């Protein structure tokens, strides 16, 4: 879905370009933290009472499952569980 006009998109790009690298980095970290909170909340809602290890496992799968082949994915899961 794309509901933003090209003029507004360009204005947003320009605003971001004016920020320092540090400010852009902080924005990225903030967006990641927020998305992690949303995903954590969804996991806890669908798996009440999930353990800390189970939560780490689910977070990894939600964020990175498509980034690793099954062998490497299992090695990571074994390590974080």
Give the DSSP H/E element, type plus range, for residue 35. helix 21-46
Structure tokens at 26: 């902080």
Does this model's pTM top 0.85?
A: no
CA angle 57, 62, 67 (to 5 degrees): 100
The model's pLDDT over 26-67, given as tens digits with 9 standing for 90+, comes to 999 999 999 999 999 999 999 999 999 999 999 999 999 999
Q: Is the pLDDT of residue 74 over 80?
A: yes
> Length of the chain, please?
81
Structure tokens at 60: 């990894």
**Helical packing angle, 70-80 and 52-64, nearest 10°:** 150
For residues 39 and 59, the answer to whether their CB atoms sit within 8 Å is: yes
Q: How far apart are CA 40 and CA 46, in angstroms?
A: 10
Please give the average per-residue pLDDT across 19-31, as a whole number: 97
């Amino acid at each position: 879905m794309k509901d933003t006009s090209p003029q507004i998109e360009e204005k947003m790009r320009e605003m971001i370009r004016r920020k320092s690298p540090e400010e852009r980095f902080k924005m990225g970290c903030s967006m990641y933290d927020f998305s992690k909170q949303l995903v954590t909340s969804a996991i806890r809602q669908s798996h009440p009472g999930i353990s800390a290890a189970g939560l780490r496992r689910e977070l990894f799968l939600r964020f990175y499952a498509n980034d690793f082949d099954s062998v490497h994915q299992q090695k990571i899961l074994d390590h974080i569980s």
